[in-house]
Amino acid sequence: MNGELEASVLIPTTGDRGDLLRCSIASVLRQTENRLEVLVVGDGMSSNSRGAIEDMAHSDHRIRLFDFPKHENRGEPNRHYILLHEARGRNIFYLCDRNLLLPDHVERLGRLLKDADVAHGLMVAIRPDGQPVIADYSGIFGFRGVPDLAKAWQRRLTVKRGSVVPLSSWGHTLRFYRKLPRGWEPPPAGWFSDQHMLAQLLAHPGCKVASTMVPTALNFQKLWRGQDAVTVWRQELPLWFKRLNEPHFAEQFRETVMEKAIVEQQTQIDDQQTQIDQLATTIRFFHRHPLRYVSSKLKAKLKSQIKARLKPRN
């Protein structure tokens, strides 16, 4: 396998996850864009995981294993080394060992990366009961809203506070990555590794971002699966991988998700309209009753002065 490929897909893994890797790697190998390589980045993996990868690599030369000892964090410097010295793909994508890619993930985001440096799809998480959940910003920024990093204001917030767009849902060009002053590294306190990496990309001068409001990956978050998440994933992933290969699954899944997205967006619009109506009512009141407005401001100022005078001094 010589020369530049269309994509390199990095799969970080650790511990004993051989059963999961058989499914996650297979979802990459079955992409509609097959000019790719799978770079499995081990961070203290078990012999079972190593054996599963080696078995698959014997039958498909696109798989390459980098078996590193356990790093003090998540092996970020090893990912950086691979992107600088080993990756051959024009575009770089990532896949958590517990997640699956829909068949056209590489092709769909690859089209966006022809005119962009970073691209992402609609983030969809799968609950243990099988229901898809569309990510919004309420958990991290305190307000509703579907992530779309093509919007400048969302990029600014992401650089400052992180993002809910997970590792398996975004990618970037290799050329742009190699312009960064640092790249993959252990994150600062309060940040996840992938959040920190994405923030670096978005903060770099001239970064162009493209997005699609179509889901391209299935995310099985630990949040809903508790301490025994690996056991739950071992049960879930083979079933979802089987569904993934059923005719028309991707189209039907996306139709379900897009219907939910429309409802979510409409709810967001309704909430914003309610806030606008409340603000307009307040503005009209003070416009019609300017003396009340001035009086209320003076009362507030007087109260603050009285409190300041009554406050005991040390």
* 3-state SS string for 139-157: HCCCCCCCCCCCCHHHHHH
Question: Could you say which DSSP state residue 117 is in?
Answer: S
How sure is the predictor about 38, in pLDDT bands with cuts at 50, 70 and 90?
very high
The fraction of the chain above a pLDDT of 90, given in percent, is: 67
The fraction of the chain above a pLDDT of 70, given in percent, is: 82
How big is the chain, counted in residues?
A: 314
- Return the amino acid letter for 63: I
Average pLDDT over residues 298-303: 70
Query: What pLDDT is recorded for position 305?
Result: 67
Average pLDDT over residues 235-240: 96
Cβ atoms 132, 152 nearer than 8 A: no
CA separation for the pair 117, 111 (Å, rounded): 11
Top CATH class of 5-245 equals alpha beta
Q: List, for residues 127-179, the tens digit of each pLDDT value.
A: 999 999 887 665 566 556 778 999 998 899 889 988 889 999 999 999 999 99
CA separation for the pair 1, 187 (Å, rounded): 34
Cβ atoms 180, 206 nearer than 8 A: no
- Can you give the pTM of this predicted structure? 0.83
Q: What is the mean pLDDT of the chain?
A: 88
Query: What pLDDT is recorded for position 97?
Result: 97
Q: With CA atoms as reference, report the closest residue to 173 among 147, 209, 217.
A: 209
Reply yes or no on whether the pLDDT at 3 is more than 90: no
Q: List, for residues 67-100, the tens digit of each pLDDT value.
A: 999 998 889 999 999 999 999 999 999 999 999 9
Average pLDDT over residues 252-281: 75
Rounded to the nearest 5°, which phi and psi values hold at 196? -65, -40
Reply yes or no on whether the pLDDT at 209 is more than 80: yes
CA separation for the pair 115, 180 (Å, rounded): 18
Average pLDDT over residues 42-60: 96
Helices within the chain (DSSP H only): 18-29, 47-59, 76-85, 105-112, 152-161, 174-177, 193-203, 229-244, 249-288, 290-310
Q: With CA atoms as reference, report the closest residue to 241 among 34, 94, 97.
A: 97
CA separation for the pair 87, 81 (Å, rounded): 9
Query: What pLDDT is recorded for position 259?
Result: 84
